[in-house]
Amino acid sequence: MDAFTVHTGVVGAMDRANVDTDQIIPKQFLKRIERTGFGQFLFYDWRFHDDGSDNAEFELNQSEVQGASILLAKRNFGSGSSREHAVWALTDFGFRCVIAPSFADIFYNNSFKNGMLPIVLPEETVEQLFSRTQAGGRTELTIDLENQVIRGEEGLEIPFEVDSFRRHCLLNGLDDIALSLEHEDKITAFELARENA
């Protein structure tokens, strides 16, 4: 898993609440067994018309947010089913961070396990960020996980909090397997002791 320390990127603003995992990655695209290749199907029913052409009205199809790696959303992002594919689709598309007033619990946990940072901010702070994105042009933010602060133009600084263990894992690029391998010597000693018992 790639470490997340400081990330600067374009903000893609999705002015929708209760975005569920079936909208993030529709069920018909869950046939793959690897974690890659889902980005092309992200928000499929919103991004494309029935004939496969781009939906020019969809927020993330706007030219000023092309290449966005920070997603700004409304409350209860990632609700619905527990599919981890939703996070895989977002990261495969290029998102490293999602900022919202609240997240569904399973989506929130899956984000950390897959190297994506979900940031919870008060609703009024999220609204202020939406105002910045609606002012026109490209909006960039810098997410500094080490210092737990979001920075932007005109001296913008927004502190945020992340559980210390999850922060440690993201800063060091540690997923569940990498965490286990930190104890490889103890695991090996235990296995050898069992073999010789």
Q: For 8-27, what is each residue's pLDDT tens digit?
A: 999 999 999 999 999 999 99
Question: β-strand 140-144 against 6-14: which pairing, if any?
Answer: antiparallel
Residue 31: CATH number of its domain: 3.20.19.10
Which domain range does residue 143 map to?
Answer: 6-195
Average pLDDT rounded to a whole number, residues 50-68: 95
Q: Which residues pair with 140 in a beta bridge?
A: 10
Answer yes or no: is 1 within a domain.
no
Query: What was the pLDDT predicted at 31?
Result: 86
Q: What pLDDT does residue 81 have?
A: 87
Q: Which of 6-20, 144-158, 162-176, 180-194 has the lowest mean pLDDT?
A: 180-194
Residue at 1: amino acid letter: M
Q: What is the mean pLDDT of residues 112-116?
A: 95
Identity of residue 9 = G
Mean pLDDT of the chain: 92
Q: What's the whole-model pTM score?
A: 0.90
Is residue 172 in a domain? yes
pLDDT at 181: 63
Tally the domains of the chain: 1
Higher pLDDT, 114 or 186: 114
Is 60 contained in some domain? yes
- Asked if residue 32 belongs to a domain, the reply is yes
State residue 96's pLDDT score. Answer: 98
Res. 142: pLDDT tops 80: yes
- Lowest-confidence pick of 46-55, 115-124, 127-136: 127-136
Q: Does residue 146 belong to any structural domain of this protein? A: yes
Annotate 29-76 with DSSP letters as a single string.
GTT-SSSSS-GGGTTHHHHB-TTS-B-TTSGGGSGGGTT--EEEE-SS
**Does any domain span residue 145?**
yes
